[in-house]
Amino acid sequence: FLSLVAEVCCGLFMILILSRFWLLAVLYLLWLYLDWGTPCTGGRRSQWVRSWTVWKYFREYFPIHLIKTSDLSPDHNYLLGFHPHGVLVAGAFGNFCTGPSFKNLFPGLTPYLHIMPIWFGCPFFREYIMSAGMVSASKESVSYVLNNEKGGHASVIVIGGAEESLNAHPGSLTLNILKRKGFIKMALKHGAHLVPVFSFGENELFKQVANPKGSWLRTVQEKMQKIMGFALPLFHARGVFQYSFGLIPYRQPIHTVVGSPIPVKRNLNPTTEEIEQLHALYLQKLRKLFEEHKRNYGIPEHKSLIFE
């Protein structure tokens, strides 16, 4: 989805360069150079863009819901680990970039959705995603958000990253998290409280071509992901007037459940053992969150999360 919109924006920019309005393209490139660091310093959100009516229809299409399980005091900063990635990351976008749900449930907190830095190099598209509240997933960017001394900031990170989108099959509960410990180190360095978030229904929006690990397709996808920085899942869903084939996501409810915070004491130089201990605690809390809510959202009793 992001790739498609980015390609359109890049196409428009090329048309601008080749047209009689090439001077505007040159001026924009100058602006891009001067504004290059903004995605790493909190971005440039626009409440007007975040409140567009189209986002209301986007949320109601599935529909998308945000569920609160515990209060989050605005006196602290938080690092929210979002799971799973899915193909569209609809729950993260619908709940943390648009609409009033997060603000109403967690007053005093400002969410920042961190995405891959590569997207902020795309002309015009970068302005759009920043206006929606997205910022870079670089260490510099996360540190900027979590370094707010007054508290009230919430970094939202899709922990599994692009690699996890290759596991986004209906019914899949596999999370790429065992080797992902950078977010734990960031939480420790800034004393940001950790909050596990699980989005039920995220993997049900599309059907993906079978790509088990070890298959030629998965091998190619993983190599392309390492080269380009983002994955290329081969997916399909429904069409506009029929339900058998197309790229429009299925209408499947998404329930994004925000768990209870794990208090984290600031530690500028955490040891490997301290990182491992907090990571293990996070996995434990994430699994508990899933188990406590899975019955409410159609997950069979015998199904459990698989950590890779």
**Is the pLDDT score of 7 beyond 60?**
no
Q: Which pLDDT value is given to residue 244? A: 79
pLDDT band at 9 (very low <50, low <70, confident <90, very high): low
Q: CA-CA distance, 204 to 207, in Å (whole number)?
A: 7
**Is the pLDDT score of 11 beyond 90?**
no
Q: Tell me whether strands 174-175 and 306-307 are parallel, antiparallel or unpaired.
A: parallel
3-17, 124-138, 157-171, 277-291: segment of lowest average pLDDT = 3-17
Report which residue type is found at 192.
A
Q: Which pLDDT value is given to residue 4? A: 54
CB atoms within 10 A of CB 84: 25
Average pLDDT over residues 79-100: 94
Average pLDDT over residues 206-227: 89
* 283/229: higher pLDDT: 283
Q: Which domains does the chain have, with CATH numbers?
A: 1-307 (3.40.1130)
H/E stretch holding 74 reads none
**Is the pLDDT score of 44 beyond 70?**
yes
CB atoms within 10 A of CB 198: 27
DSSP for residue 11: H
pLDDT band at 231 (very low <50, low <70, confident <90, very high): confident
Structure tokens at 8: 């359109």
Report which residue type is found at 210.
A
Q: CA-CA distance, 100 to 92, in Å (whole number)?
A: 14
Q: Which pLDDT value is given to residue 249? A: 92
Q: Which pLDDT value is given to residue 61? A: 96
Average pLDDT over residues 18-24: 72
Average pLDDT over residues 182-206: 97
User: 262: closest CA among 78, 67, 69?
Assistant: 78
Average pLDDT over residues 219-239: 84
Structure tokens at 149: 């001394």
Q: CA-CA distance, 293 to 96, in Å (whole number)?
A: 20
**Is the pLDDT score of 206 beyond 80?**
yes
CA angle 13, 51, 199 (to 5 degrees): 95
pLDDT band at 230 (very low <50, low <70, confident <90, very high): confident
Q: CA-CA distance, 126 to 73, in Å (whole number)?
A: 31
| Contact predicate 254/199, CB 8 Å | yes
**Is the pLDDT score of 258 beyond 60?**
yes
**Is the pLDDT score of 6 beyond 60?**
no
Percentage of the chain modeled with pLDDT above 70: 94
Average pLDDT over residues 182-211: 96
pLDDT band at 10 (very low <50, low <70, confident <90, very high): low
Three-class secondary structure of residue 298 per DSSP: coil
Average pLDDT over residues 175-187: 97
Report which residue type is found at 67.
I
| CA 284 to mean position of chain CA atoms | 21
8-17, 47-56, 68-77, 79-88: segment of lowest average pLDDT = 8-17
Three-class secondary structure of residue 175 per DSSP: strand
User: 86: closest CA among 205, 212, 213?
Assistant: 205
DSSP for residue 85: -
Q: Which pLDDT value is given to residue 111? A: 97
**Is the pLDDT score of 141 beyond 70?**
yes
Average pLDDT over residues 217-230: 84
